């Protein structure tokens, strides 16, 4: 192992995953214009996988260029329903709109992780999960947001799966860590190979 390991994010769920796994790292938010990049990619007709991957790479490269000696983890997640990509809710009313759109549908959650070193991407992985959403009544949505807003303001799918957000779903298909926001197991395997974790 040469330089430090940096997570290009202050995401609570991503930090919690790395902490629980016993990974030693520093967290440094990348402060990139995610919305502008996302909109440009969507105008090009790029699918959800490409959007998540590009945003993860953007975050990793920004920190890697500032500290070329570090190995930098960039990660991002996007949510789509019926081909429509959803942004993080900007208000409680916006979150309610999203939940109405999710009601009774299958949510596709795509999480990407990219490792960058010396200002270049050196590894990447994209995971997908499908989450079946219960039909949600207006009374449920109101009670849910009473309990979870504004804690879910930074959550693209308006939920924390490790909290009351699990009530939204009738079934989950895919890797739990991908649903949390980062494909952890492939990342840990790569960190072992690169000497950033004991093998």
Taking only Cα atoms into account, the Rg of the chain, rounded to an integer number of angstroms, comes to 17
- pLDDT value at 10 more than 90: no
Of 74, 77, 54, 76, nearest in space to 65 by CA: 74
- Mean pLDDT, all residues of the chain: 95
pLDDT tens digits, one per residue of 14-64: 999 999 999 999 999 998 888 888 889 989 999 999 999 999 999 999 999
Section 77-88 average pLDDT? 93
Task: Give the model confidence (pLDDT) of 112-169 as tens digits.
Answer: 999 999 999 999 999 999 999 999 999 999 999 999 999 999 899 999 999 999 999 9
Instruction: Tell me: pLDDT of 12 over 80.
Output: yes
> Which residue's structure tokens are 């995401």?
11
Give the right CATH number for 5-193 from 3.40.640.10, 3.90.950.10, 2.40.110.10, 3.40.50.300: 3.90.950.10
Residue from 76, 87, 146, 175 carrying the catalytic annotation:
76
Residue 146 annotated to the active site: no
pLDDT at 75 over 90: yes
Q: Of residues 129 and 195, which shows the higher confidence score? A: 129
Q: Band of the pLDDT at 2, cuts 50, 70, 90?
A: low
Closest CA to 16 of 145, 159, 184: 184
Q: Which residue has the tokens 């940096």?
A: 6
DSSP 35-87: HHHHHHHHHTT--HHHHHHHHHHHHHHHHHHH-TTSEEEEEEEEEEETTEEEP
Domain limits, the chain: 5-193
Residues 6+ apart with CB under 8 A from 73: 5, 6, 7, 8, 9, 25, 60, 113, 114, 115, 187
Q: Does 189 score more than 80 pLDDT?
A: yes
- Is the distance from CB of 50 to CB of 41 less than 8 angstroms? yes
84-108 mean pLDDT: 96
Share of the chain above pLDDT 70, in %: 99
């Amino acid at each position: 192992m040469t330089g430090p390991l940096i997570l290009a994010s202050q995401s609570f769920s991503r930090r919690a995953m790395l902490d629980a796994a016993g990974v030693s790292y520093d967290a440094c938010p990348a402060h990139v214009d995610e919305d502008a990049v996302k909109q440009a990619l969507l105008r090009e007709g790029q699918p959800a996988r490409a959007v998540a991957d590009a945003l993860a790479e953007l975050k990793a490269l920004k920190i890697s260029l500032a500290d070329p000696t570090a190995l930098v983890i960039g990660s991002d997640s996007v949510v789509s329903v019926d081909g429509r990509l959803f942004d993080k809710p900007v208000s409680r009313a916006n979150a309610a709109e999203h939940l109405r759109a999710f009601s009774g549908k299958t949510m596709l959650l795509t999480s990407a992780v990219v490792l960058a070193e010396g200002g270049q991407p050196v590894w990447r992985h994209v995971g997908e999960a499908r989450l079946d959403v219960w039909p949600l009544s207006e009374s449920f949505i109101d009670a849910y947001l009473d309990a979870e807003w504004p804690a879910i303001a930074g959550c693209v799918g308006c939920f924390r799966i490790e909290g009351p957000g699990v009530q939204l779903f009738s079934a989950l298909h895919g890797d739990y860590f991908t649903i949390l926001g980062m494909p952890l197991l492939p990342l840990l395997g790569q960190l072992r190979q690169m000497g950033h974790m004991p093998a």
